[in-house]
Every structure is written in C-alpha cells, then in structure tokens.
Amino acid sequence: MNTLFKALVLFAFTVNGVAETKQPHPKVKLDFNPPHKLTCDFEDVIFNSNYETGRISSCEKLASDHYLISTYPENKPINPSPWYGFSVTSNNENAKQIIVEIQADNSRPRYLPKLSSDKAHWEPMNFEVVQGNLILSMTVGANKSVQYVSAQEIIDNAMYQQWNKKIADNSSFELQTIGESVEGRNIDALIHTQPDNTEWLFIVGRQHPPEITGALALLNFVEALLGENTANTQLFERFNILIVPLVNPDGVAAGNWRHNSNGIDLNRDWGRFTQPETRVVHNKLGELMRENHKLVFALDFHSTQQDIFYTMPTDYIPIKHKRLNIEKGVMPNLFVEEWLSDLKQETVRSFTVRDRPGSSPGRGVFKQFIADEYGVHAVTYELGDNTNRQLIKHTAKASADTLVNKLLNTDASQFKIQ
C-alpha cells in the first residue's frame, strides 16, 4: 500500500479498463444532455474522449493548426465546474506546434490543464486565458505518441477497484458491493467491524466527479488510519468504520461536471434519496445501525477553490433532538472545534485550517443530513483544486492522527443525548 500511495502522490495511477456494468437502473430524461464521448479526426490531428473521465462535447478546426474543443455540462442548472479530458494524436512525420482552445459552456475555467503520455504521470501545462477560453500550445507528430490533456489527474473506476482491493487484502476492512449506480456500476464499501464495537465512523467521497483533490485526501486519510501505531490499533479495537470512497461512479466515467447520470447533484439528495447512489449508501448505513449501535462522526471529502472545513454550528439543534423536545446541539458540542484546533497545531504553517460553520436544513447536503438524522457532527472536508499534492498527503495524515486521538479521548456517553 505504501508503494501505491507514493504513486498516487506522483499522480501515478494505473488504468485497467472500464468498470464492468450490469443491468442499469431506469434513467431520467435530461433537459440537456450533450455528447461527451467523441472522436474528432482532422486527418493530421485526432482528438478522442472515448475513455473513462474523457469529455469532449464538440470540436472544430478554426485555422491551420488551431483547434477548438468545447465542453458542456451534463444538464442545467449546475454548479459550473467545467471538466475536460481528451487524447491528442498525430500521424505527422515531423513535429509541429498546434493551438488547442478549450471552451466551456458559459463558464470560466476552473481547472488548470495537465498533460500525460500514459494517464499515469502528469505535468502542468502552460496556458493563457483569452475571452474566457483556455489556450494551450502542444507539440504533436514525429516521435510524439498519444498525449492526454485533462482538467485534473485521472482517478477512474478501475483505480478505485484496485485501491479498494489492496485495502481489503492488507487490513481488517471487508470489501462489499452495497448496490449499483443508475447505469449499473458497483458501489463498493470498505467495512471494519468487531463483535463488541457499537460506535461507527462514516466516510464518503467523490459525490462530485471532478473533485480530484478531495479524492486524494480521502485515499491518504484512510491510509493514515492504517498506519501501525498504538492509537490506530485502539481506534479499530473500539470503533466500527464504514467507508464509501466513490459514491458517483457513473459521473466519474462520463467526465461529468458535477452530477450523476440522471443529472442530479448527489450532495443535494441526502434525506430525499431519489437516486440509487445515495439510497444504497443510506440503506447500508441503516442496516449497520442496528440496536445499540451509534454513529459518532462522519466525513465527506470534496474539492473547491481553497482548503475549507464546512462544519455544523455548535449551537445548531438537530431535527432529531427537536423531535424529542431536547434543546441540545450536535454531540459532543465542541468535538469538531477542538479537533480542528488540534489539527492546526500539527500542520505546516502554509496550510490554513479554515472552519466554516453553517447549516442548510432541507437542502439534501450530506453533513446536514447526518447532523439532523443522527444528532452528531459531520464535516465536509474540502481541498483546494490546486493545493500541493504533498501538502494534501501531509494534511490528511495530520487530520487522521488528530481525529483518532480526539475520538479515543471522547467517552462513548458524550456521543449520546443525556
């Protein structure tokens, strides 16, 4: 696993093909569903997005050696996070420079372009922004084989399958398929249980397909939990753990901007459960929360423009507590505030721990649903799109280490309504 994670930090992801699909769930007809898997053959230059995470909505040759690639969202309205991904090949005997212009539908660029020859090792590309479009210069032809341009590094379904298996093969986690996505892809969970454990830690990730830094943070965080030390041993002796690393496999495969293949933002579907992805995760959690079992804390990994921890206000009274006529906030009240204070002391000064408390009842957000349904803290752990990947690993380990200590130093009675 250490070797795998060194590869992750270096953006070394191995691709073993597309995840096996089964009988799909019924799809919703989208108001706007543009193509996204295309091959654009301009004779001497070919663009292709027919692979997992690839996305081209249209392509056009504007002038000699100047090409326009467009990316459109899966449907609207949508939070604008324009994703793009394509390969470039040329049969020219001589090397030449081409200009690739990337246009997003009514959206400014969010992600900085990266280049790879193998979808494994990535380098940042030089770019300009002209009238809202990304302008890239590339060398093609001669000895240049296929090159991949992507909004972020690729972490596809096959990579998750590999990583899940490695975790299960080398730890006490059991790998379970807990259900299927709209298009019939497996939704997998890693579950650690002990016969006498009744307290649960719950972790989810990749509800939004383009959010790669959040995905890296989750992988590094879980790896840190598996580090060999006394605190981690005690964590696994006391707590059960449920991890769903990839909630939106269809969106990842399609290269979607944000939604699942029904055009739904999964992080607006908690409590509503209109989509199979959120339903199967919720059903599994409910199955595990049998008599005397208690969810104590939850994390949801994402990416945004900067590093932020979206938390529940300490004075927020969950719906569960209101139903019981108990005027108490999420339990334990200061748990997250104290955890983040500990985290600040363990991270380098260049990482800012931004605590952003807020509540949004009825909006279908994961952390809000957990707080209202279970009366405990949940945190949306957000990493900046351009946060240094080594810093992501450092922060994930510090987050895991400090959280483990906080959990172990919190008596089980404090997670319950007194």
| 299-324 pLDDT tens trace | 999 999 999 999 999 999 999 999 99
Quote the pLDDT of residue 3: 42
Q: What is the pLDDT of residues 117-148, one digit of tens each?
A: 999 999 999 999 999 999 999 999 987 789 99
Domain end, chosen from 150, 175, 198, is at: 150
90 and 44, same structural domain?
Answer: yes
Q: Which is more confident, 17 or 213?
A: 213
Tell me which DSSP letter residue 196 carries.
Answer: T
Q: What is the pTM of this model?
A: 0.92
Contacts of 18 (CB under 8 A, 6+ apart): 51, 52, 156, 157, 158, 253
- The kind and range of the H/E element at 202 are strand 199-205
234 and 121, same structural domain?
Answer: no
Domain end, chosen from 95, 125, 150, is at: 150
Is pLDDT at 12 greater than 70 in this prediction?
Answer: no
Q: What is the pLDDT of residues 144-171, one digit of tens each?
A: 789 999 999 999 999 999 999 999 999 9
Q: What is the pLDDT of residues 186-211, one digit of tens each?
A: 999 999 999 999 999 999 999 999 99
Quote the pLDDT of residue 418: 57
Is pLDDT at 358 greater than 70 in this prediction?
Answer: yes
169 and 79, same structural domain?
Answer: no
Its domain, for residue 90, covers 20-150
Whether residue 63 is contained in a domain is answered as yes
Is pLDDT at 1 greater than 60 in this prediction?
Answer: no
72 and 204, same structural domain?
Answer: no
168 and 69, same structural domain?
Answer: no
Domain end, chosen from 114, 133, 150, is at: 150
183 and 145, same structural domain?
Answer: no
Q: How many domains does the chain have?
A: 2
Q: What is the distance between the terminal CA atoms of the chain, rounded to a whole angstrom?
A: 42
Q: For residue 400, what is the domain's CATH number?
A: 3.40.630.10
Whether residue 405 is contained in a domain is answered as yes
255 and 182, same structural domain?
Answer: yes
Is pLDDT at 16 greater than 50 in this prediction?
Answer: no
For the chain, the residue count is 418
163 and 145, same structural domain?
Answer: no
Quote the pLDDT of residue 13: 34
Quote the pLDDT of residue 21: 34
- Strand ranges inside 31-127, DSSP E: 39-41, 45-48, 58-63, 66-71, 85-90, 96-104, 114-116, 123-124
Quote the pLDDT of residue 208: 98
Q: Which is more confident, 34 or 190?
A: 190
Q: Which is more confident, 143 or 259?
A: 259
